[in-house]
Structure 1
């Protein structure tokens, strides 16, 4: 429970599919009526039963609140990864949270599943026995896939019982998808061995088979009967309407809801099976029992579709704006758009460490619970805020209470690295909202992912620029850095006519220090002299390492150069007394003042200060020789 409310967490994938949406809508509405909080954790792709491939989207299942959930539902056939489903189940079991698995079988879980085989046998028997087909063929799904193999076995069984000899060329593979099914049907036609019925392992393939047959001039069902399996809504909107066996989302939702109630009441049970319902229709030669689609519905679908096309253009603009943002606050500002009115965006804090290249390093366990709330649709001013786990669960409890409808969680990822997640707080269960959630997530993933990459590149560029503009030993400006700063100063019209003060300094005895104490000692002497020059000059001075042991200070304004040079000498004496080395650090300095004009010759000003500095240096050496005698 979270804040006194029971919580059901649903782990699934591809909620934008019509059958998925129908199931989630019906189940969520039932739970909502009982004041139960619903959290849906979904990927936009699925694992396709590929146990070895890593999907960064799968981090969303790490966000399931295992410590607060009362029931966890795993849509195994939607996720299509026993490894991932097992991971979710094990985490729940460690906390004694009951797990209901839909369309999968695991130990210690309640398994709700469509008993596909009896349902598929119904449609095959209807085609073979009721319609008296003598020359059928079967378009299966993926080769060596369990669902495919089970349905092939049923096809063989039914035709054998009806005295039809099985031949290998009766079986073709459409991979449960449109293009492969179309190719399979074209191959059948081009072989010249035309069947009187094409039985398909699912509706998607059957709908495409009908389209191919019509393009080749065959009539369905007059010339060739076609059947599917699944009961997609599209089966009733194609021409002719498709004969199928319906794995009804409403029946499944009712069954899962019953299991939730029984589990919450402490009842122990292991499974509940649902047999798909036979739906005869026009494609097999039977009469359609469904009313024609209403004109109002067509208009509504068209309106939603064209609005969605507009949304795609807007989402592209948002992606670009986020990518070009100057900082995280500006990126968050881009999310504040009508199309994002139900979006709440969280990112890992480590994304904002621009010094590091985020996509190069693995996400550490210590980083996985450290988020930044980038955008809250109910509080747009609450942006770019570091949050901890306690804050997040208080935030979540508030959203559940305020929204009532299911909250949907979707992972943000870019360059095969998770960035964080989005929480959608849709009001109700509009299919278009669910359908476009994947596009919005992709918009944010692309925008924020490229933003993080861009900020790192800018950080690297700035670091390189600093290396180019700053002297690495002293921290003073390099000549290039000084030229850039001084040019900018001269470009300000108000500065024309002001006094420019130039102080040139040279380290005394550097060769002696290097020869007798080593170059490290020489570097220390240069660095110490540079620090003292910089701290002795007024704020706003441009202090430069001009040559090996020559340093320059340019101040835009009039100042007492004698006091500055005396201050430098005093600080050097303090430094020498403090470090107590066998050598002394001293600077010879010279200064020159002039007026900044549009024809200002910086080289001449430096030369004049340099001449004065060397005059002082010679005087100092002469004084030292006289003192030595």
Structure 2
């Protein structure tokens, strides 16, 4: 019978930091004896007030609710954000499994706290009592930082116990990292105070800076000045001299966790209580307790060189990914290029999926239905674009997890916008492995974001083009009748003039009869109806070779291109126009006729052709026709078709 899967969920931010890596390595070392594997939910939020990524990282945390876990572990000091911390704890409580929280008190959780005084205080005491140091400088962390202040108080306490007065100038704030530590060390070296016998540092990184600067200034460590660190980073173990430091008892912490898990499995009862993680002093060369020796650095240098090479190749591949994404238009296209850009890794599962809607060019949607966009292992890529429901997410990759010890999960996101997640199956975990996963997640997130932004830009461009087209139409059309206005007439005419192969231009000027009578007698609404009716009739007499437009009020102009100058006549135009007017919807019920006067002019298209001259001629002839209609009374009759011959100029 196959043994059931045994997973411990671990939630952590800034996974690449050594203190986190060392704890996880010890957890894995003890857990593998009973075939426990560790599922790491790797977050970015590491400041209490930071809320930018919280909505996206909540999506990653929620993945834990769909799988069977034996326990949850929260590295709370790395995450800090209470929204995330409480959400993780709530999921573990709902799942009814033990939840262990390190460096935070959360209701219902086993709480593990580092006991600072068990390490730093004994180290200061060792320097004074075992090495006889009396002049002792300290490189502390940040001002007003809880852990930095605790170590300062222990430093002062041990000085007082041994009758050594505290001197403010011998305390420097190195902020736990290189540059501020160098500034404070330079101040120590330039001080008028006698050189110290020892420098106790609040972490190993600052201790290495102290050793370097003492060496550059001509002092020997530990012969002239003792230097000690705190927290036991790997660099301190391979540094020369090897650092004397204090290291947390990760062995004891991991043992406590597994003991409580075993109790829960046996009794099915969760009884949260606290555990103190003590620090122990680890004496070495930098305090003089161990003789200096020529360390074998081959393995260290080899590993660093391998990590550097991997970083170079991975960065090149990620840059290649970004470059390849620039011309793409959809997330689906990203899935197609991933096998070509992810060529640098070959020994473990690398997986990525996104919200299904993204595949179809939409950014909305939730982590309910997901689509695989990359699945690779041992240089083989298979089964992309498979869609599944989120509660089956582990089933998607279970077959590739046989030999893995760690499953590292990262969210694909840009701040609060979550796209999907990545999963990397690893046999062992170290800083470079975690950085590689971070890099891939970051570059893929940016790639997806680039494509989505490009989609938005393209949509915006389409909308702008459509809007411009509509604005152009509005600027060329008469608002009331919908036919071209004077501006539209000239634009369309000039375009058609450039394209036409016809020989003649025919210009027809049309003006409604007795519009004032209709307005004054029946109202302006009826006048508008009459104008719109005439506009429809004018449009209907147009052909594909013509343009009709309202030039203002009740005046309309039509222009036609023809090879037969006798094809259009005033009588033909006037009759066709009146026929269209008489059958206009609603016209039969009106108490007034709608008629029009017409003038027509024809001119051959030549190099010096000017439409303005033709318009003036047609207008003049139209007004002659209007006078004749008025004299004859043709413009008064009820629906009398004016067939009187108009005027024509050639």
Describe the shift of the 1:427–1:148 C-alpha distance in structure 2 as closer, same or farther (beyond 3 A). Answer: closer
- Residue 408 of structure 2 aligns to a residue whose secondary structure is strand
Q: 2:342 aligns with which of 336, 339, 344?
A: 339
Q: 2:50 aligns with which of 45, 48, 53?
A: 53
Partner of 2:648: none
Partner of 2:286: 283
- Residue 23 of structure 2 aligns to a residue whose secondary structure is helix
Is the Cα contact below 8 Å between 2:60 and 2:411 reproduced in 1?
no
| Gap runs ≥5 in structure 1 | 359-365, 491-495, 555-567, 588-599
Describe the shift of the 1:297–1:37 C-alpha distance in structure 2 as closer, same or farther (beyond 3 A). Answer: closer
- Residue 628 of structure 1 aligns to a residue whose secondary structure is coil
Counting only pairs closer than 5 Å after superposition, residues 13-412 of structure 1 correspond to structure 2 as 13-28=13-28, 31=31, 34=34, 38-44=38-44, 46-47=46-47, 51-56=48-53, 59-64=56-61, 65=63, 67-68=65-66, 70=69, 71-82=71-82, 84-93=84-93, 96-193=96-193, 194-247=195-248, 249=250, 252-265=253-266, 266-269=268-271, 270-287=273-290, 292-339=295-342, 342-347=350-355, 349=357, 367-369=365-367, 373=371, 375-378=373-376, 382-383=384-385, 391-404=389-402, 405=404, 406-412=406-412
- Residue 104 of structure 1 aligns to a residue whose secondary structure is coil
- Residue 179 of structure 1 aligns to a residue whose secondary structure is helix
Distance 1:345 1:453 in 2: 19
Deviation (angstroms), 1:226? 0.8
Encode CA deviations 1:56-95: one digit per residue, 9 max, x unaligned: 1663244323534532211012213445423432454355
Deviation (angstroms), 1:208? 1.8
Encode CA deviations 1:361-394: one digit per residue, 9 max, x unaligned: xxxxx954356536232466634x8x6xx71221
- Residue 67 of structure 1 aligns to a residue whose secondary structure is helix
Distance 1:524 1:36 in 2: 83
Describe the shift of the 1:394–1:411 C-alpha distance in structure 2 as closer, same or farther (beyond 3 A). Answer: closer
Encode CA deviations 1:184-233: one digit per residue, 9 max, x unaligned: 21222222323111111111221122222222222211221111111111
Distance 1:552 1:220 in 2: 101
Distance 2:546 2:15 in 1: 61
Aligned residues: 583
Distance 2:40 2:558 in 1: 65
CA radius of gyration, larger in: 2
Describe the shift of the 1:7–1:320 C-alpha distance in structure 2 as closer, same or farther (beyond 3 A). Answer: same
Pair 1:628-2:636 in alignment: no
Distance 2:319 2:445 in 1: 12
| RMSD of aligned Cα (Å) | 5.6
Distance 1:330 1:583 in 2: 66
Describe the shift of the 1:139–1:294 C-alpha distance in structure 2 as closer, same or farther (beyond 3 A). Answer: closer
Deviation (angstroms), 1:4? 7.3
Describe the shift of the 1:347–1:57 C-alpha distance in structure 2 as closer, same or farther (beyond 3 A). Answer: farther
Deviation (angstroms), 1:55? 3.4
| Gap runs ≥5 in structure 2 | 561-576, 597-605, 641-650
- Residue 100 of structure 2 aligns to a residue whose secondary structure is strand
Deviation (angstroms), 1:110? 0.9
Is the Cα contact below 8 Å between 1:98 and 1:263 reproduced in 2?
yes
Deviation (angstroms), 1:348? 8.5
Is the Cα contact below 8 Å between 1:529 and 1:572 reproduced in 2?
yes
Distance 2:428 2:590 in 1: 79
- Residue 229 of structure 1 aligns to a residue whose secondary structure is coil
Encode CA deviations 1:334-363: one digit per residue, 9 max, x unaligned: 433453761404259589877xxx8xxxxx
Distance 1:529 1:395 in 2: 67
Describe the shift of the 1:586–1:33 C-alpha distance in structure 2 as closer, same or farther (beyond 3 A). Answer: farther
Is the Cα contact below 8 Å between 2:141 and 2:148 reproduced in 1?
yes
Is the Cα contact below 8 Å between 1:470 and 1:477 reproduced in 2?
no
Is the Cα contact below 8 Å between 1:46 and 1:78 reproduced in 2?
yes
Partner of 2:573: none
Question: Which sits farther off after the overlay, 68-77 or 401-410?
Answer: 401-410
Encode CA deviations 1:400-422: one digit per residue, 9 max, x unaligned: 453243332223343x4333343
Q: TM-score, length-normalised on structure 1?
A: 0.72
Distance 1:134 1:444 in 2: 56
Is the Cα contact below 8 Å between 2:408 and 2:424 reproduced in 1?
yes
Is the Cα contact below 8 Å between 1:351 and 1:419 reproduced in 2?
no
Encode CA deviations 1:599-629: one digit per residue, 9 max, x unaligned: x99x999x99xx99xx99x99xx99988723
